[in-house]
A and B are shown apart, each in its own frame.
Chain A
Amino acid sequence: MNSTSVESRELTQSQAINEAIRQEMQRDSSVIILGEDVAGAAGRAHLGLVDAWGGALRATRGLIQEFGPDRVIDTPIAEMGFVGAAVGAAMTGLRPIVEVMFVDLIGVCYDQIINQAAKMHYMMGGQTALPLVIRTAFGSRGDKRTYGGGAAAQHSQTLYSVLAHVPGLKVVVPSTAYNAKGLLISAIRDDGPVVVMEHKFLGFAAKGDVPRDSYTYPIGKAEIVRRGKDVTLCGIGRMTHICLEAADRLAADNISAEVVDVLTLAPLDEETILESVRRTHRLVVVDEDHPVASMARDIAAIAADKAFDWLDAPVKTVTAPNTPVPFAAVLEAEYVPNAEKVVAAVRTQLG
């Protein structure tokens, strides 16, 4: 990462994302943002009504006042249409940031993402760049409320594996306010299509020191966020925080866990993960996505192949079960991986 100023202050993940978008839009007039209610109250400025919503996680609040409705564009409910429009705009001189409100809606515009955006550059033999950023909210809550429920099966999914799956798409999953700003700026400056996955329950929760200045966090780099020697815990998004919590619990039993934050799913930073596993000899991958064809099993297979001779125990994955996300809070709490489950997985490796 490069940062030119030491001054920083505490921001939430949403605020950090807001700052990233604002700074890039200031820096480069070809950056635009579009999506449903990225501003809100569209067309009502003459009534004094403006910026009524600010995006799914309020990350785009305050932008329309600064950049105007030509660059902060509320769309009708038409994901296939406006994601496709973003693809076209990216091919013809703009750098669009398009918001798909929830990753669960990716099905509505999946063609534009996988068949169009991801493959344009390749199919056309490199003729055109496609500087498109797709931002979308994902994830489940998994806290211990006793009754009631969450956002249920169509608003709680993770699904990044079906995006990382497609060659040509970069997929990043920030975990802190700091790397959220840096990764988003990198994504905006990237000349190809990048999906930025923003965890719903980190948006206002994850607070951290964020430098005022503009800076990038490299796409394609995982980060060792805690050093250890007995086992590597690999986390994605909010699950990285779960891994850190598990590492604390293991430390109380004299088990030293190293935590790797994956951060970029595609292209995956295999070497950081493998180097860690070669030192600790054990790996647990924690992923709140559905388990079948998941990032967890992908990373596990890479480790089983390239770190085979260093493994002293089977590679374990801690994921959601193979079910839709249930509404009821008691069931959702069981659904989402937590620190206890991670600790239990480590214990099966150590005996």
Chain B
Amino acid sequence: MAHPIVMPSFGMYTAEGTLTAWKKSNGAWVESGETVLEIETEKAVQEVQAPLSGVLHHVLVPGARLQVESLIGYVLERGETPPARAADSSQSVPSTSSVTATSNEPRRELRASPLAKRLAAEHRIDLVTVTGTGPEGRIVEADIRAAMSQSDARQAVPPPVAARRVPLSPMRRRIGERLRNVVDTAVPVTLMREVRAEALVATRSALTERLGQTIPYDAFFIKLLAAGLRQSPQLNATIEDGELVLFSEANIGFAVALEDGLVVPVVRSADTRTLVDVAATIRRLSAKARAGQLEPADSAAGTATITNLGGHGIDGFTPVLNPPQAIVLGVGRIQSRPVVQGGNIVPGTTTILSLTFDHRVTDGANAAKLLNAVGESLANEALLMGLSS
């Protein structure tokens, strides 16, 4: 059993000393009472004897500064291994491997109140990222609370650096406000369906040849949507003051992209007009729009909208509602795509229809019914041809 050799208190007032020499070497056998080491105190040089017989084990080296009861060495039994060096706060050895009580953390000049430190630890905020606004630049509770609400908002990720700042145009601002309003009030859901477009393409081609003028694709979609809304009148509606307001007409707007924004001129009573008439209206209003001469009446009273991004190479998308309307039909590009026919994959022509509806007004099944009506009509050449009369 290892017996410690400690610095004695050589009288009431001696508190410190230095180990000046080992008198017996490490591992030597010592007899009880034999002098094994020398300590120098402020008063004198004192000898320390082995407390019992055994194998001497040195812990400290000469030069070590000692306090009373500092551990200096052990007397071991033969063959015994010395105890592991436990952290001994009373000793210090003047060598590079000194065991001073300080930690190995790098020093940081960070001043924070105890309360701030506790809150930072509790909320996993790194004090290095916090600016102190307390006296003498101290981080105080208020700073941690501010950091907490910031990190809630931004997940502590710094924003990208701005290159330049451009004020919003009035149109941009207005569009933003209206669409913001939509998000705040309506519940938009988008249904998508890929439909065969061969009949549409063929009909348009035939009509173009027969009439001697190009019928825009939009004219077909406006007519079909209007017809579909006549069949599903509860979708040709809006929510106002907690009531469902059903419109009496099917006025279909169509989105026209301008350089700095978007306008939506309206084809009134699209369901009652001929295809040619609708086409002419589209042509006229588009020209007005591009010339910047659209009047308010041209865009008024819309009850549903179509928006065609096919010309921009878009397949399908999630068109945003045009408030206060409940229906917007998005049209993607008419494209050669593989289709399955008779168990084989063959080339076909399709387009993807994206119908966004306000879920406050109706449910998906009804919206799907409308979408399917439009889609099936697109595949019906006879029906399409009949639109022109």
Q: Do chains A and B touch in the complex (CB under 8 A)?
A: yes
A312–B115 touching, CB < 8 Å = yes
Complex: chain A residue closest to B140, CB-CB: A312
Task: Give residues of chain B (278-299) contacting chain A, Cβ–Cβ below 8 Å.
Answer: none
B133–A312 touching, CB < 8 Å = no
* CA A308 to CA B118, docked complex, whole Å: 10
Q: Which residues of A contact B198 (CB under 8 A)?
A: none
* CA A281 to CA B138, docked complex, whole Å: 15
Q: Which residues of A contact B140 (CB under 8 A)?
A: 312-313, 351
* CA A348 to CA B115, docked complex, whole Å: 17
**Interface residue? A309 (CB, 8 A):** yes
Task: Give residues of chain B (83-128) contacting chain A, Cβ–Cβ below 8 Å.
Answer: 113-118
Picked from A313, A349, A351, the residue with its CB within 8 Å of the CB of B133 is A351
**Interface residue? A327 (CB, 8 A):** no
* CA A349 to CA B114, docked complex, whole Å: 13
Task: Give residues of chain B (129-143) contacting chain A, Cβ–Cβ below 8 Å.
Answer: 133-135, 138, 140-141
B115–A351 touching, CB < 8 Å = no
* Central interface residue in A311, A312, A313, by most chain B CB within 10 Å: A312
B134–A309 touching, CB < 8 Å = no
Q: Which residues of A contact B115 (CB under 8 A)?
A: 281, 309-312
A309-B114, A313-B135 provided; 7 other pairs, C-beta below 8 A? A309-B115, A310-B114, A312-B114, A312-B116, A313-B113, A351-B133, A351-B134
* CA A248 to CA B290, docked complex, whole Å: 71
Q: Which residues of B contact A349 (CB under 8 A)?
A: 135
* Central interface residue in B115, B117, B141, by most chain A CB within 10 Å: B115
Chain B interface (Cβ within 8 Å of chain A)? 113-118, 133-135, 138, 140-141
Picked from B113, B133, B135, the residue with its CB within 8 Å of the CB of A311 is B113
Q: Which residues of A contact B133 (CB under 8 A)?
A: 351
Q: Which residues of A contact B134 (CB under 8 A)?
A: 312-313, 351
* CA A349 to CA B134, docked complex, whole Å: 8
Q: Which residues of B contact A350 (CB under 8 A)?
A: 135
Q: Which residues of B contact A309 (CB under 8 A)?
A: 114-115, 117-118
Is chain B's interface secondary structure helix, strand, loop, or mixed overall? Answer: helix
Complex: chain A residue closest to B132, CB-CB: A351
Q: Can you spell out 12 A-B residue pairs with CB atoms less than 8 angstroms apart?
A: A281-B115, A310-B114, A310-B115, A311-B114, A312-B113, A312-B140, A313-B134, A349-B135, A350-B135, A351-B133, A351-B135, A351-B140
Is chain A's interface secondary structure helix, strand, loop, or mixed overall? Answer: helix
* Closest beta carbon of chain A to B136's beta carbon, Å: 8
Q: Which residues of A contact B138 (CB under 8 A)?
A: 313
* CA A309 to CA B114, docked complex, whole Å: 5
- Count of A interface residues, CB-CB < 8 Å: 11
* CA A308 to CA B117, docked complex, whole Å: 10
Q: Which residues of B contact A313 (CB under 8 A)?
A: 113, 134-135, 138, 140
A312–B118 touching, CB < 8 Å = no
* CA A309 to CA B121, docked complex, whole Å: 11
Q: Which residues of A contact B114 (CB under 8 A)?
A: 308-312
* Closest beta carbon of chain B to A311's beta carbon, Å: 5
* Closest beta carbon of chain A to B118's beta carbon, Å: 5
A289-326 interface bits toward B, Cβ cutoff 8 Å, 1 = contact, 0 = none: 00000000000000000001111110000000000000
Complex: chain A residue closest to B139, CB-CB: A312
Q: Which residues of B contact A311 (CB under 8 A)?
A: 113-115
* Central interface residue in B113, B117, B141, by most chain A CB within 10 Å: B113
* CA A129 to CA B117, docked complex, whole Å: 49
A312–B141 touching, CB < 8 Å = yes
Q: Which residues of B contact A308 (CB under 8 A)?
A: 114
A256-270 interface bits toward B, Cβ cutoff 8 Å, 1 = contact, 0 = none: 000000000000000
Q: Which residues of A contact B141 (CB under 8 A)?
A: 281, 312
* CA A85 to CA B199, docked complex, whole Å: 125
* CA A312 to CA B141, docked complex, whole Å: 6
* CA A319 to CA B322, docked complex, whole Å: 73
User: Which 4 residue pairs spanning A and B have beta carbons closest together?
Assistant: A351-B135, A312-B115, A312-B113, A309-B118
A331-351 interface bits toward B, Cβ cutoff 8 Å, 1 = contact, 0 = none: 000000000000000001111
* CA A235 to CA B342, docked complex, whole Å: 97
* Closest beta carbon of chain B to A228's beta carbon, Å: 16
Complex: chain B residue closest to A278, CB-CB: B115
* CA A313 to CA B113, docked complex, whole Å: 6
* CA A350 to CA B135, docked complex, whole Å: 7
* Closest beta carbon of chain B to A283's beta carbon, Å: 12
* Closest beta carbon of chain A to B120's beta carbon, Å: 12
* Closest beta carbon of chain B to A306's beta carbon, Å: 12
Complex: chain A residue closest to B116, CB-CB: A312
* CA A309 to CA B118, docked complex, whole Å: 6
Q: Which residues of B contact A348 (CB under 8 A)?
A: 135
* Central interface residue in B133, B140, B141, by most chain A CB within 10 Å: B140
* Closest beta carbon of chain A to B143's beta carbon, Å: 10
Complex: chain A residue closest to B141, CB-CB: A312
* CA A309 to CA B140, docked complex, whole Å: 12
* Closest beta carbon of chain A to B28's beta carbon, Å: 49
Complex: chain B residue closest to A304, CB-CB: B114
* CA A350 to CA B136, docked complex, whole Å: 11
Complex: chain A residue closest to B121, CB-CB: A309
* Closest beta carbon of chain A to B129's beta carbon, Å: 19
Complex: chain B residue closest to A309, CB-CB: B118
Complex: chain B residue closest to A349, CB-CB: B135
* Closest beta carbon of chain B to A314's beta carbon, Å: 8
Complex: chain B residue closest to A307, CB-CB: B114
Q: Which residues of B contact A310 (CB under 8 A)?
A: 114-115
Q: Which residues of B contact A281 (CB under 8 A)?
A: 113, 115, 141
* CA A281 to CA B133, docked complex, whole Å: 16
* Closest beta carbon of chain B to A348's beta carbon, Å: 6
A101-134 interface bits toward B, Cβ cutoff 8 Å, 1 = contact, 0 = none: 0000000000000000000000000000000000
* Closest beta carbon of chain B to A302's beta carbon, Å: 15
Q: Which residues of A contact B113 (CB under 8 A)?
A: 281, 311-313
Complex: chain B residue closest to A311, CB-CB: B114
* Closest beta carbon of chain A to B234's beta carbon, Å: 58
* Closest beta carbon of chain A to B209's beta carbon, Å: 84
